[in-house]
């Protein structure tokens, strides 16, 4: 790729990535608000901490799938919705495991040493902020790569035609430039 075309192509790709991250963040913010609210309602209702987080995450994941499929990555190939839905939930399960690990380490691991780590505030910090933050980084990468496939209209520089036709592999190689071919007239 010529150097003159490289900078505009990089700028276009970076702009497309910024738009994707912005949309992903908006969908994620809505899903986070749902997750946060449902988690705290379930805690107040007396649900066990990890079950409350699992239930709130499942509900928020459903909202996130719809938002990401039909808005964030609508420009990407959408061949098999059942496959996408399954992959989305499997990869979100990994994201959930990341969040639950942070919550369990805080609530049960550190909480057995310091009771302050078993409060709703500590649960929200470890599960909602730390766990969701690390899980979100994983989710963005995995959804973009594995769930929502390739770009239908990728941003790239126009293809450059080769300056010389491809050589015949059976022909002897010469170091001299090829002479122009004369086209017979009829």
Q: Which residue has the tokens 């075309």?
A: 5
Calpha distance 107→109 (Å, rounded): 6
Judge whether 41 lies within some domain. yes
Calpha distance 155→18 (Å, rounded): 13
Judge whether 177 lies within some domain. no
- The number of folded domains in the chain is 1
Judge whether 53 lies within some domain. yes
Judge whether 159 lies within some domain. no
Judge whether 86 lies within some domain. yes
Judge whether 166 lies within some domain. no
Query: Is the model's pTM score more than 0.75?
Result: no
Domain that holds residue 27: 3-147
Query: Is the sign of the CA dihedral 75, 81, 85, 91 positive or negative?
Result: negative
pLDDT greater than 80 at residue 169: no
Split at pLDDT 50, 70, 90, the class of 38 is very high
The string of pLDDT tens digits covering residues 56-97 is 988 988 899 899 888 988 877 667 778 888 888 899 889 889
Distances (CA, A) of 2 to 156, 160, 166: 13, 9, 20
The string of pLDDT tens digits covering residues 116-150 is 888 888 888 888 789 988 888 898 889 888 888 76
∠ CA 63-67-70 to the nearest 5 degrees?
A: 135
Judge whether 172 lies within some domain. no
Judge whether 91 lies within some domain. yes
Burial class of residue 182, CB neighbours in 10 A (0-12, 13-18, 19+):
exposed
Q: Which residue has the tokens 């409060």?
A: 119
pLDDT greater than 50 at residue 159: no
């Amino acid at each position: 790729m010529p150097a003159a075309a490289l900078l505009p192509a990089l700028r276009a790709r970076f702009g497309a990535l910024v738009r994707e991250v912005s949309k992903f963040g908006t969908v994620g913010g809505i899903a986070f608000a749902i997750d946060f609210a449902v988690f705290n309602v379930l805690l107040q209702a007396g649900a066990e901490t990890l079950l409350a987080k699992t239930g709130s995450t499942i509900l928020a994941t459903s909202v996130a799938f719809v938002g990401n499929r039909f808005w964030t990555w609508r420009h990407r190939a959408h061949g098999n919705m059942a496959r996408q839905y399954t992959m989305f939930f499997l990869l979100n399960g990994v994201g959930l495991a990341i969040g639950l690990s942070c919550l369990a380490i805080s609530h049960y691991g550190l909480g057995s040493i310091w009771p302050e780590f078993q409060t709703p505030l500590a649960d929200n910090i470890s599960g909602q902020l730390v766990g969701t933050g690390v899980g979100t980084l994983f989710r963005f990468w995995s959804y973009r790569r594995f769930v929502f496939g390739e770009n239908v209209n990728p941003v790239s520089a126009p293809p450059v035609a080769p300056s010389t036709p491809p050589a015949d592999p059976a022909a002897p190689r010469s170091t001299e430039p090829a002479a122009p071919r004369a086209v017979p007239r009829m």
